[in-house]
Amino acid sequence: MRTKRTFIVLILAFFCLASLMAGGQKEAESTSDELVKLTWHQIGNPQELLPEVMVEVNRYLAEKIGAELEITVHGWGDYTTKMQTMHAAGEPFDLAFTSGWANTFIPTASKGAYYPLDDLLKEYGKDILATLPSEYWKASTINGKISAIINLQIMSNQRGIAVMKEYADKYDFDPSKIKRNDEIFDFFKKIKENEKDVIPFFGLDEGIFPDLNSEKSRYWDVIIGEDNDYISVFMGDDSRTVVNTIITDEYKRNTQSVRDMLEANYLPSDFATLHLDEEVKGRDYAAFVMTRIKPGVEGENKVRYGKDTIVYGLHKPFTSTDSVSSTMTAIGINSKHPEKAMELYNLVYSDPYLYNLLVFGIEGVHYTLDDNGYVIQNPDKKYGLPAWQFGNQFNAYLMPGQDPDVWEQTIALDASAEASPLLGFVFDPSPVRNEVAACNAINEEYRITIFYSEDLDKTLNEFNNALKASGIDKIIAEAQKQIDAWAK
């Protein structure tokens, strides 16, 4: 009897276990059918029509990779603060824009905020590896690990000025005749004297590079980051000697050029608190700074600002670690789905339809293509995110004003650019982390106020003394040590 009862219990247990296994399998199958939800943080102007674009994006992603994407666009002035707060709190995210000028890459990656990508690229990013030239990966490698995906676009850098064509024509201003950059001040003076409601120039905090021209590249290459250029190596210096930038004659001349423009009222007095896009779209300027010149940029200006421009370079183009890594995308260290995040970015990098959908919106709704394949934006449905923020810009549709071979021209420009002596070097700040943090804070305190101080020499001296007290000499010594080891 006991044996029979035991047998019945075993049979019941078997059926219960089988039922549980079947239920578990059904639950697993149900879970596998669910979309993986990914988040992506970007910089730019918030887009009112982004939600309707994302409906089509997510329909496409569901079919292609079984994912659902949420993009959050943070304003130009808010992005870095928002992302650094998220990093500090360990808040999970899947993808985020990073660079030397926003959500700064080197200090953030050095703290372990980004997921190492070497293995993910081999498994889920094969199209990216096949597309991006291998030599560029050094620019996003921290402590021997690839920490961000470099967006493929123009890799050289050349600052410049865009002059509104109507004013250039009216005052017979020909940039090709300029021998020194500060000769443009004559044009600014004419605007100031004759155009009552027009602001001569909108610029950033790096001045006009007064004594440079098309035969010389920029003065120096930065080591810590574009906004923290207090230590650098001069272009063309094969010895790669690290210098305190603040005490150089070039830094003083560049700073003085900004002070001269402020004194003459060629710049808005509060220019350092304003944003380029918002200003050029919202107010009447005769000229504005171009942070990066590239083939077809006049066409981009026409689409972006609705204005015809003549663009010229302030110096010869050059290629540096900073220019190569100026637009990148990283995966957060606390991402719950790093494999799927890489799979998504691989698709963005390689799929022209998805790329142009994210950049321009839905064809027939937000834009149309003319007979030559150029984008014609819908003025009643204005949408657009920065094309350089989405993987491979060579997948982009052409915009009016761009030559049909604009991408071939871009590749040729990169090939002709002067290579920085530090191209491929990435500084590891961890041995001097405290000193870098202190000097960054000093730089933030002085880099704008120096344009408004009563006595430039006195302020430069105070700036330098504050950096020395915060450990700049120790940083220089560590940077030199790393550069010398890297250069061997």
pLDDT at 13 over 50: no
Per-residue confidence (pLDDT) for residue 63, from 0 to 100: 97
- In percent, the amount of the chain with pLDDT more than 90 equals 69
Per-residue confidence (pLDDT) for residue 132, from 0 to 100: 94
61 token code pair: 């992603």
Report the run of H or E that residue 220 belongs to, with start and end.
Answer: strand 220-222
Pick 192 or 225 by higher pLDDT.
192
Per-residue confidence (pLDDT) for residue 152, from 0 to 100: 95
pLDDT tens-place string over residues 383-433: 989 899 999 999 999 988 789 999 999 999 998 899 999 999 999 999 999
Pick 340 or 222 by higher pLDDT.
340
pLDDT tens-place string over residues 233-282: 999 899 999 999 999 999 998 899 899 999 999 999 998 888 888 888 88
- For 18, the 3-state DSSP assignment is helix
Instruction: Taking residues 9-34, report their average pLDDT.
Output: 42
Pick 143 or 231 by higher pLDDT.
231
pLDDT at 17 over 60: no
> Which sign does the torsion angle of CA 329, 330, 332, 337 carry?
positive
Pick 379 or 210 by higher pLDDT.
379
CA distance 18 to 16: 5
pLDDT at 104 over 70: yes
Reported confidence tier of residue 206, pLDDT bands at 50, 70, 90: low
Contacts of 399 (CB under 8 A, 6+ apart): 296, 299, 300, 302, 303, 374, 375
393 token code pair: 């810009």
CA distance 342 to 409: 30
pLDDT at 293 over 60: yes
Reported confidence tier of residue 97, pLDDT bands at 50, 70, 90: very high
* Range of 95-104, 150-159, 335-344 with top mean pLDDT: 335-344
pLDDT tens-place string over residues 45-88: 889 999 999 999 999 999 999 999 999 999 988 999 999 999 99
CA distance 393 to 464: 41
Burial class for 392, CB neighbours closer than 10 Å (0-12, 13-18, 19+): buried
Per-residue confidence (pLDDT) for residue 216, from 0 to 100: 65
* Helix/strand/coil percentages in the chain, nearest 5: 50, 15, 35
Instruction: Taking residues 117-146, report their average pLDDT.
Output: 95
Instruction: Taking residues 208-224, report their average pLDDT.
Output: 75
pLDDT tens-place string over residues 315-374: 889 999 989 999 999 999 999 999 999 999 999 999 999 999 999 999 999 999 999 999
In one-letter notation, the amino acid at residue 229 is D
pLDDT at 5 over 80: no
Per-residue confidence (pLDDT) for residue 16, from 0 to 100: 39
pLDDT at 20 over 70: no
Burial class for 131, CB neighbours closer than 10 Å (0-12, 13-18, 19+): middle
Phi, psi angles (nearest 5°) of residue 203: -130, 175
pLDDT at 8 over 60: no
Instruction: Taking residues 305-322, report their average pLDDT.
Output: 89
Ramachandran category for residue 420: left, alpha or beta (phi over 0 → left; psi -120 to 50 → alpha): beta
- The rounded radius of gyration (Å) of the Cα atoms in the chain is 26
In contact, 393 and 360? CB cutoff 8 Å: no
Reported confidence tier of residue 301, pLDDT bands at 50, 70, 90: confident
pLDDT tens-place string over residues 267-278: 999 988 888 888
In the predicted model, what is the mean pLDDT of the chain?
89
Of the candidates 347, 406, 411, which has an alpha carbon nearest to the alpha carbon of residue 374?
406
Per-residue confidence (pLDDT) for residue 33, from 0 to 100: 66
29 token code pair: 């199958």
CA distance 473 to 291: 30
Reported confidence tier of residue 214, pLDDT bands at 50, 70, 90: low
In one-letter notation, the amino acid at residue 481 is K
Could you list the beta-strand ranges (E) of 90-171: 95-98, 141-142, 145-146, 149-150, 160-164
Per-residue confidence (pLDDT) for residue 307, from 0 to 100: 87
487 token code pair: 């250069």
Burial class for 290, CB neighbours closer than 10 Å (0-12, 13-18, 19+): buried
Quick count: other Cβ atoms within 10 Å of Cβ 250? Answer: 18
Per-residue confidence (pLDDT) for residue 182, from 0 to 100: 80
Burial class for 16, CB neighbours closer than 10 Å (0-12, 13-18, 19+): exposed
pLDDT at 26 over 60: no
* Degrees to nearest 5, angle at CA 31 with 25 and 35: 155
Instruction: Taking residues 86-101, report their average pLDDT.
Output: 95
Q: Which residue in the block uniquely carries the two structure tokens 């669910």?
A: 34
Ramachandran category for residue 159: left, alpha or beta (phi over 0 → left; psi -120 to 50 → alpha): beta
Of the candidates 316, 345, 351, 350, which has an alpha carbon nearest to the alpha carbon of residue 332?
345
* Cα atoms in the 13 Å half-sphere on the side-chain side of 288: 26
Residue ranges of alpha helices (H) inside 140-248 are 165-170, 184-194
Pick 319 or 180 by higher pLDDT.
319
Reported confidence tier of residue 178, pLDDT bands at 50, 70, 90: confident
Per-residue confidence (pLDDT) for residue 367, from 0 to 100: 96
Reported confidence tier of residue 30, pLDDT bands at 50, 70, 90: very low
pLDDT at 3 over 80: no
> What order of strands is seen across the sheet that includes strand 309-313?
287-290, 160-164, 309-313
Per-residue confidence (pLDDT) for residue 282, from 0 to 100: 86
Per-residue confidence (pLDDT) for residue 25, from 0 to 100: 38
